[in-house]
């Protein structure tokens, strides 16, 4: 395991590179980029899956998104989907410079919003030879249709206006405005959806709490997020092999099913893990093992 830094334009992206236990620098290995959820950092679920896949013989790279975690960029905690997608390609740029990485065998795994960004990156960047997602969230779909596909799209128009107002205020000298990405109150979160209560458990308690993941984003991010579509053009361009994984009880399961239905790939599979919630797929041992049990052979076959 090695701390590394690579560039996304002018910003420094901080990552953790993991090598197989039997690593031989004279060999070439398949590599997997692991993309963390919105509001997360590389030390959480992205790093966990990177560790599990390195144990299966892959070189893996988990990193903090630009503007987040140990990576540079201002304003802090900006969640710009286009930059998040560019992070993935920047990670591949970096891996392609390593002599022990086979440039023709690079894949991407994304969790939650990272799954949406990984999908969008795979549509754009044909260097990605295989795509895996766990609890995938298309952030734009989520804002327009709700966590569990029950919202009215028109309701998100107010969020776009809120972002515009924040930008104007900040341009006139006011401090950067932020909104929470994780509930502050578990009881109230549970009334909205069980997944939100578990988000509190994951991000706000010792279960996975991290100093670099305060659970907020810049208000200005909303303008890009509500208008974004991570699955845009997957019917045409998502031709690489795809392994999609979702929990049977996840409110977001519908987005994984939507991606599976629409992807152009002729080699695609959807695994629904019985009893899995959205967040259980992040770190609960039985759920993670079920996911890795599918992902490892998938990547070995297609990388």
CA dihedral 119, 295, 193, 217 (to 10 degrees): -50
- Residue 115, pLDDT score: 98
- Residue 155, pLDDT score: 86
- Residue 194, pLDDT score: 95
Report the percentage of the chain scoring pLDDT > 90.
97
Average pLDDT of every residue of the chain? 97
User: Are the C-beta atoms of residues 108 and 131 closer than 8 Å to each other?
Assistant: yes
259-272: average pLDDT = 98
45-64: average pLDDT = 98
- Residue 123, pLDDT score: 98
Choose the weakest-confidence range: 33-42, 186-195, 253-262: 186-195
Helices and strands in the chain: count of H runs, count of E runs:
12, 10
Instruction: Write a three-state SS string for 60-80.
Output: EEEECCCCCCCCCCCCCCCCC
Give the ranges where 153-216 is alpha helix by DSSP (H): 157-171, 186-192, 194-204
Residue 130's DSSP bridge partners are 107
pLDDT at 157 over 90: yes
Choose the weakest-confidence range: 105-109, 123-127, 153-157: 153-157
Which superfamily is assigned to 2-151+228-302 in CATH?
Alpha/Beta hydrolase fold, catalytic domain (3.40.50.1820)
What band does 95 get if pLDDT is binned at 50, 70 and 90?
A: very high
Nearest to 155, CA basis, from 142, 136, 170: 142
Q: How many C-beta neighbours within 10 Å does residue 95 have?
A: 24
H/E stretch holding 227 reads none
pLDDT at 153 over 90: no
CA distances to 40, 57, 177 from 289, in Å: 21, 16, 39
pLDDT at 177 over 90: yes
Place of tokens 């079920």: 290
pLDDT at 167 over 90: yes
What band does 154 get if pLDDT is binned at 50, 70 and 90?
A: confident
């Amino acid at each position: 395991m090695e701390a590394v830094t690579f560039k996304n334009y002018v910003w420094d992206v901080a990552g953790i590179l993991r090598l197989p236990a039997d690593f031989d620098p004279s060999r070439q290995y398949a590599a997997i980029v692991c993309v963390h959820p919105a509001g997360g950092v590389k030390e959480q679920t992205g790093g966990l899956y990177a560790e599990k896949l390195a144990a299966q013989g892959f070189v893996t790279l988990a990193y903090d998104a630009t503007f987040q975690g140990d990576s540079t960029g201002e304003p802090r905690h900006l969640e710009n989907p286009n930059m998040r997608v560019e992070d993935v390609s920047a990670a591949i740029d970096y891996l392609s410079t390593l002599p022990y990485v086979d440039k023709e065998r690079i894949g991407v795994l994304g969790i939650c919003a990272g799954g949406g960004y990984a999908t969008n990156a795979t549509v754009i960047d044909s260097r990605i030879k295989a795509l895996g997602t766990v609890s995938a969230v298309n952030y734009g779909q989520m804002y327009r249709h709700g966590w569990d596909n029950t919202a009215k799209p028109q309701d998100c128009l107010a969020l776009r206006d809120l972002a515009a107002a924040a930008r104007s205020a900040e341009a006139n000298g006011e401090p950067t405005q932020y909104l929470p990405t994780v509930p502050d109150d578990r009881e109230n979160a549970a009334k909205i959806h069980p997944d939100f209560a578990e988000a509190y458990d994951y991000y706000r308690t010792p279960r996975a709490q991290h100093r670099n993941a305060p659970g907020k984003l810049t208000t200005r991010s909303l303008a890009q997020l509500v208008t974004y579509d991570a699955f845009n053009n997957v019917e045409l361009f998502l031709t690489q092999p795809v392994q999609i994984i979702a929990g049977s009880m996840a409110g977001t399961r519908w987005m994984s099913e939507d991606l599976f239905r629409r992807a152009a790939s002729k080699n695609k599979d959807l695994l629904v893990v019985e009893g899995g919630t959205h967040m259980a797929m992040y770190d609960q041992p039985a759920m993670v093992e079920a996911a890795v049990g599918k992902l490892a052979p998938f990547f070995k076959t297609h990388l």
